[in-house]
Amino acid sequence: MKQWRSYRSHRTHLRYRTPTPRELRQKCPAHDLLDYLDGVPEGHTIHRAAREHGKLLAGSVIRVSSPQGRFTDAGRVDGSVLESVEAYGKHLFYHWATGDIGHVHLGLFGKFRVTFGPEQIAPKGAVRMRLAGESDIGIVTVDLSGPTDCSVDAPPVRDKILARLGPDPLRRDADPQKMIDRVRRSDRGIGDLLMDQSVIAGVGNVYRAEALFVQGLHPLRPGSQCAPSELQELWDTVQKMLRKGVKDGRIVTVDRAELGIARSKHIPREDATYAYKRDQCLRCGREISRIEIANRTCYYCPTDQPR
């Protein structure tokens, strides 16, 4: 059984907007802890989910079900101990004591909902997978809806998924040189390559636009024309942005010091990015350009990111 203390330290570490245990009890039977929907999930969302689910459920016997019915593998691990939860890029892996590994990919529409209560609450909407474990403040329920993939397999399936992914800047085992080599060998635009999960894992549309902006790289610049030092800096920027995203639970890429924003001031979503979904560049005021790359609109500033 998970002890409250471990959850508290986790809460402090990640600065969740969660209530105290007393407040939680008062708010029972159900309380939404997190809303991951800050746009389409990128790597930070996945790593944050892995940390949270690990803290809340790992080491416990978990009831696994599929209220909606489409997660047909639920019975395979129902009643087993969840050992750990791992994130790689946009993929989540649930390691079960049975040796099986659950795989979740949120895709564009997937989301989690975490609730506490004296008993399991009724599923809200089409819940594909429900993980329920006991804690000293009641039942922790993690509901997953709308994922692209939710399945349970033997370990080789995880290995196969990892084999086709590039390095993930949020993982300690990541090797940026792999990304740099892949990019340098390609004539595709850097804005296209950044979204390719086999080149670098975890970057989505917001971080693509913002990292390229900060590095002053035009999204159509061919990978082969990017210097290794530029790509190392791009990696470092993406890594810094993603880490901040995990910590904040939202995407804020602007530099407070540059814009003279006090540390205590909340940055609203529309001012949290330099170029992404903006009409004018936050830095120079010029009109932001939009082009379709890798099926998503890429935003860039023609002044700050010359070709």
Closer residue to Zn ion, CB minimum distance, 170 or 301: 301
- The first and second tokens of residue 33, run together, are 């802890």
How far apart are CB 281 and Zn ion at their closest, in Å? Answer: 3
Closer residue to Zn ion, CB minimum distance, 80 or 289: 289
DSSP assigned state of 233:
H
How far apart are CB 287 and Zn ion at their closest, in Å? Answer: 9
Closer residue to Zn ion, CB minimum distance, 80 or 303: 303
How far apart are CB 84 and Zn ion at their closest, in Å? Answer: 43
Q: With beta carbons less than 8 A apart as the criterion, state whether 202 and 165 touch.
A: no
Closest CA to 28 of 142, 139, 126: 139
* 265 in catalytic set: no
CA distances from 192 to 53, 196, 295 (A): 32, 7, 9
Residue nearest Zn ion (C-beta atom): 281
* 42 in catalytic set: yes
* Long-range contacts at 3-11 (CB < 8 A, ≥ 24 apart): 3/136, 4/135, 4/136, 4/137, 6/55, 7/55, 7/56, 7/135, 10/51, 10/52, 10/55
Closer residue to Zn ion, CB minimum distance, 268 or 285: 285
- The first and second tokens of residue 69, run together, are 């019915």
Q: Which of 2, 90, 128, 208 is catalytic?
A: 90
* 128 in catalytic set: no
How far apart are CB 303 and Zn ion at their closest, in Å? Answer: 4
* 283 in catalytic set: no
Q: Could you tell me the end-to-end alpha-carbon distance of the chain, in angstroms, rounded to an integer?
A: 56
Q: How many helices (H) and strands (E) does the chain have?
A: 10, 10
Residues that bind Zn ion (CB under 5 A): 281, 283-284, 301, 303-304
89 CB contacts (<8 Å, ≥6 apart)? 43, 46, 165, 166, 168, 197, 201, 202
Closer residue to Zn ion, CB minimum distance, 143 or 304: 304
How far apart are CB 301 and Zn ion at their closest, in Å? Answer: 3
- Annotated catalytic sites, by residue? 41-42, 90, 296
